[in-house]
């Protein structure tokens, strides 16, 4: 009951103040997600045509990357057989052409920048400047209307235009997502659970390609923004990370020099060396957002193996272990705000105090529930439609543990020299969509917090 009151008043406050945010910079990853819902007959015919024996080899062992059609089809079968997700880079032009001709059922905005641009600019009406590595007309068509801008250089001058007005036929960075439901059959294979295989025909985002406008005019771009959110570092590898991260570091330093708070939206980064390098940049960030798997992966490279294991044990994750991990992260890197989200609750650890931290989390949780419930959130008014989703029961125990351990009151406690903020979330039973929900949570909370200051 108390939480519902807090939810309602937090929403009102953020809705009234969010227009005060002048501009948010979003960099670096934007792409096109092309969804294809697999059909048995179609897939079987394609496998036969490509050579069943050859294809089945890859259903047993995934290739490192996709160089031909049998590898593509085999990798899809690999995912179906195990009900596991996998993502591989598609190198060959002819396979890319094959995927394009095979087509899609649905196109969606992809990449954290694209998703956050549509939410902040297209739904909340907060002006954003987005980094879009390649802007084809297909990519442009996925941007919502609203104050969404990309830099464009004309006569040596930096201008800002909506992506639909950029009008430069660049390449399409397409992530082909082949989805299958639980029980999907192909030959004698049956999917034990629903999942997807992703073939990415994208030479830009995985290498963290940074556009010339951003390399040559970054100082001016940074002068035009009040906040920044960085994402898309996760796909880098030990072979290609050094150059891009050097530019990212320069960008963050430029933003810091102009007192622009920068949030890092962390995503699972398989390469440990890259993960460590990102950790090394954290002292330049104001804030970082992550889930339990991502926090555990960071604890691992910080040498906190026991703590990492503990984070992944409980469901929901043990809040004391989470708090310890957040403290370790904040103390060792100097990042000022750590925002943790998991199924059922969020925590924020900040080196500053105030109820606005909690209210921003509540707004974010309402936005996440609205997205899960409605699929598409069209305006900020839609967010309140999630008020009738109940606060999850599972979070009660979490709250009690935090009250006992830290004397938390109304979701707020003092822990060492930090404020620890907790909220229980509203969980939608049968969600319409959970794609990009993590990005919704982190960007709503970060921008909401500054709106409330």
Indicate whether 6 belongs to the interface with ligand ADP (CB under 6 A): no
Please give the radius of gyration of the chain, using alpha carbons only, rounded to the nearest integer.
22
Choose the stretch contacting ligand ADP; rule: CB under 6 A; options: 222-230, 311-319, 329-337, 423-431: 423-431
Indicate whether 372 belongs to the interface with ligand ADP (CB under 6 A): yes
Report CA dihedral (112, 10, 15, 430) to the nearest 10 degrees: 50
Strand, helix or coil for residue 386:
helix
Which segments of 83-127 are extended strands (E)?
86-89, 106-110
**Dist. CA 240–CA 203, nearest whole Å:** 12
For residue 6 the two structure tokens come to 């807090």
**Dist. CA 295–CA 341, nearest whole Å:** 10
**Distance in Å, CB of 222 to ligand ADP, minimum:** 27
Indicate whether 431 belongs to the interface with ligand ADP (CB under 6 A): yes
**Dist. CA 443–CA 437, nearest whole Å:** 10
Strand, helix or coil for residue 262:
strand
Residue closer to ligand ADP (CB basis): 96 or 341: 341
Is 53 considered catalytic here? no
Indicate whether 115 belongs to the interface with ligand ADP (CB under 6 A): no
Q: From the candidates 33, 202, 359, 439, which is the catalytic residue?
A: 439
Alpha helices in 103-168 (DSSP H): 112-117, 137-141
**Distance in Å, CB of 382 to ligand ADP, minimum:** 15
End-to-end Cα distance, the chain? 26
Q: State the pairing for strand pair 31-37/189-190.
A: unpaired
Indicate whether 317 belongs to the interface with ligand ADP (CB under 6 A): no
**Distance in Å, CB of 395 to ligand ADP, minimum:** 11
Map tokens 């996440």 to a residue. 368
Residue closer to ligand ADP (CB basis): 106 or 416: 106
Give backbone dihedrals phi and psi of 91, rounded to 5 degrees, phi first: -85, -45
Residue closer to ligand ADP (CB basis): 66 or 365: 365
Indicate whether 394 belongs to the interface with ligand ADP (CB under 6 A): no
Strand, helix or coil for residue 153:
strand
Indicate whether 411 belongs to the interface with ligand ADP (CB under 6 A): no
Residue of the chain from 308, 368, 402, 408 that contacts ligand ADP (CB under 6 A): 368
Binding flags for ligand ADP, 332-351, as an x/- string (CB under 6 A): ---------xxx--------
> Crossing angle of helices 319-333/395-406, nearest 10°?
60
| Residues 352 and 336 sit within 8 Å (Cβ to Cβ) | yes
Indicate whether 428 belongs to the interface with ligand ADP (CB under 6 A): yes
Indicate whether 425 belongs to the interface with ligand ADP (CB under 6 A): yes
**Dist. CA 424–CA 408, nearest whole Å:** 13
Residue closer to ligand ADP (CB basis): 33 or 226: 33
Indicate whether 291 belongs to the interface with ligand ADP (CB under 6 A): yes
Residue closer to ligand ADP (CB basis): 342 or 419: 342
Kindly determine how many residues on this chain lie close enough to bind ligand ADP according to the rule CB under 6 A: 16
Residue closer to ligand ADP (CB basis): 317 or 452: 317
Which DSSP state fits 186?
A: E
Residue of the chain from 20, 167, 397, 434 that contacts ligand ADP (CB under 6 A): 434
Which residues of the chain form contacts with ligand ADP (CB under 6 A)?
Answer: 291, 341-343, 368-369, 372, 425, 427-428, 431, 434, 436-439
Residues with catalytic function: 439
């Amino acid at each position: 009951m108390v939480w519902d009151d807090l939810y309602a008043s937090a929403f009102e406050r953020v809705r009234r103040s969010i227009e005060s945010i002048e501009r948010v910079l979003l960099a670096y990853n934007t792409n096109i997600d092309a969804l294809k819902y697999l059909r048995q007959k179609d897939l079987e015919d394609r496998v036969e045509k490509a050579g069943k024996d050859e294809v089945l080899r890859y259903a047993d062992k995934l290739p490192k990357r996709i160089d031909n059609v049998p590898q593509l089809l085999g990798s899809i079968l690999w995912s179906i057989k195990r009900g596991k997700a996998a993502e591989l880079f598609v190198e060959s032009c002819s396979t890319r052409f094959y995927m394009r001709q095979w087509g899609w059922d649905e196109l969606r905005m992809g990449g954290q920048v694209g998703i956050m641009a549509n939410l902040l600019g297209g739904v909340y009406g907060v002006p954003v400047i987005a980094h879009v590595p390649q802007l084809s007309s297909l990519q442009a068509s996925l941007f919502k209307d609203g104050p969404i801008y990309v830099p464009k250089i004309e006569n040596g001058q930096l201008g800002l235009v909506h992506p639909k007005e950029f009008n430069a036929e660049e390449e399409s960075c397409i992530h082909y997502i082949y989805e299958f439901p639980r029980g999907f059959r192909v030959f004698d294979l049956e999917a034990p659970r629903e999942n997807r295989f992703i073939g990415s025909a994208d030479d830009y985002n995985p290498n963290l390609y940074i556009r010339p406008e951003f390399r040559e005019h970054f100082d001016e771009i940074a002068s035009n923004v009040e906040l920044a959110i960085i994402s898309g570092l996760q796909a880098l590898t030990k072979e290609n990370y050094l150059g891009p991260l050097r530019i990212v570091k320069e960008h963050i330093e430029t933003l810091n020099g102009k007192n622009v708070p920068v949030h890092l939206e962390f995503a699972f980064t398989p390469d440990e060396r890259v993960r460590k390098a990102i950790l090394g940049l954290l002292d330049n960030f104001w804030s970082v957002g992550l889930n339990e798997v991502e926090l555990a992966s960071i604890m691992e490279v910080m040498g906190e193996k026991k703590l990492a294991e503990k984070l992944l044990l409980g469901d929901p994750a043990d809040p004391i272990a989470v708090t310890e991990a957040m403290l370790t992260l904040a103390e060792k890197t100097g990042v000022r705000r750590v925002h943790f989200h998991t199924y059922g609750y969020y925590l924020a650890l900040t080196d500053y105090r105030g109820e606005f931290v909690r209210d921003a989390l509540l707004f974010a949780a309402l936005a996440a529930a609205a997205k899960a419930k409605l699929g598409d959130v069209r305006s900020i008014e839609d967010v309140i439609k999630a008020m009738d989703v109940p606060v999850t029961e599972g979070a009660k125990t979490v709250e009690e543990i935090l009250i006992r351990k830290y004397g938390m009151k109304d979701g707020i406690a003092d822990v060492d020299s930090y404020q620890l903020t907790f909220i229980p979330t509203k969980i939608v039973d049968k969600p319409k969509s959970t794609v990009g929900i993590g990005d919704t949570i982190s960007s709503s909370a970060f921008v909401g917090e500054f709106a409330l200051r």
